[in-house]
Amino acid sequence: MDLAAHHKKQLARHLAAAPWVLRVTERRAHPGATLIVKYRKAIDDDATRTRLVERGLLYGDSMRRCVPGLQRIVARVRDEHDKPLELGPYLAGRPIAFRGNLPLDEAAGTKLSLLFKLQERVKDLDRVELMARRIDHFTPEEAGYWLSRILHFGRASSRWAAAGMRIMLGGLPGDPEIAAMLESMGE
């Protein structure tokens, strides 16, 4: 697939109205691709003007471990007419070659935002991968609920919810069952 032609012909027109956007870019502080998930926020009462607000980022080894799960999540993104946008190939390659913005629907944006936020303090890549696989299985409503719990309930409550979600989805650091669970989930 010629990604540049596909992006120009099929995706670019969806970017202005997409509720979420995945930016694939580079940052000096992080070598290689950096994924940044952003949501569209109204800046006036009638929502005619909006701006994109960053909700999390993923890069480096954590990103590389999550790529298969990320591809599955974005592969299910559909446009307003329920037509697949075919985003999976944009995250293919080692390293990811595409640079630009991808439109996301509510389900994909919420799931990616939840994963990007939860993985922030996790050093164990098996735990990060397990969280990605389990979040991939969430319904959009589940992802939205848990994302709201770690963003909108005060500093302490949000921190506790994130810590609990990390354990619930990725186990405790050093737990030998993490590898067994990853193996049982297959790829």
Mean pLDDT estimate for the chain: 92
pLDDT at 181 over 80: yes
pLDDT at 94 over 90: no
**When comparing pLDDT for 108 and 29, which is higher?**
108
- The ranges assigned to domains in the chain are 3-185
Q: How confident is the model at residue 1 (pLDDT cuts 50, 70, 90)?
A: confident
DSSP state of 92: -
pLDDT in tens, 116-141: 999 998 999 999 999 999 999 999 99
In this predicted structure, what is the pLDDT of residue 187?
61
Strands (E), 10-145: 20-27, 30-42, 50-59, 100-104
pLDDT in tens, 76-89: 999 989 999 999 99
Sort residue 27 into left (φ over 0), alpha (ψ -120 to 50) or beta.
beta
